[in-house]
């Protein structure tokens, strides 16, 4: 297991990026639950953000690819609009406890 951050460092409705063992990741907390994905758009494999830790659309309800405008559901990474509609972000297994958010992969 690899500790990504303390639980309070992933704020509800916000996103964060991480670099772990050469992989770029993104994390979002929604309805109290953390979701972690590989930071790679299925359309062209580019990182999703233009600015550090900025992975969400203006409403904060969808993950956004800043390069292509694709939008992804936070809960399962499915692309709902854009050039990769129907594809998904690669979800990564995590566990959370009082000590942190842990990458299980």
Average pLDDT over the chain, rounded to whole? Answer: 95
Give the confidence band of 105 by pLDDT, cuts at 50, 70, 90: confident
**pTM for this prediction:** 0.94
DSSP the chain: -EEEE-GGGS-BT-EEEEEETTEEEEEEEETTEEEEEES--TTT---S-SSTT--B-TTSSEEE-TTT--EEETTT-BEEESTTTT-B--B--EEEETTEEEE--
| pLDDT tens by residue, 50-93 | 899 999 999 999 999 999 899 999 999 999 999 999 999 999 99
């Amino acid at each position: 297991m690899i500790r990504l951050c303390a639980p309070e460092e992933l704020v509800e409705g916000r996103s964060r990026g991480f670099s772990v063992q050469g992989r770029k990741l993104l994390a979002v907390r929604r309805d109290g639950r953390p979701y972690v994905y590989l930071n790679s758009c299925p359309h062209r494999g580019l990182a999703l953000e233009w600015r550090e830790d900025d992975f969400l659309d203006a409403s904060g309800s969808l993950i956004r690819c800043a390069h292509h405008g694709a939008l992804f559901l936070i809960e399962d990474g499915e692309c709902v609009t854009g050039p990769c509609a129907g594809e998904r972000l690669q979800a990564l297994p995590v566990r959370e406890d009082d000590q942190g958010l842990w990458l299980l992969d």
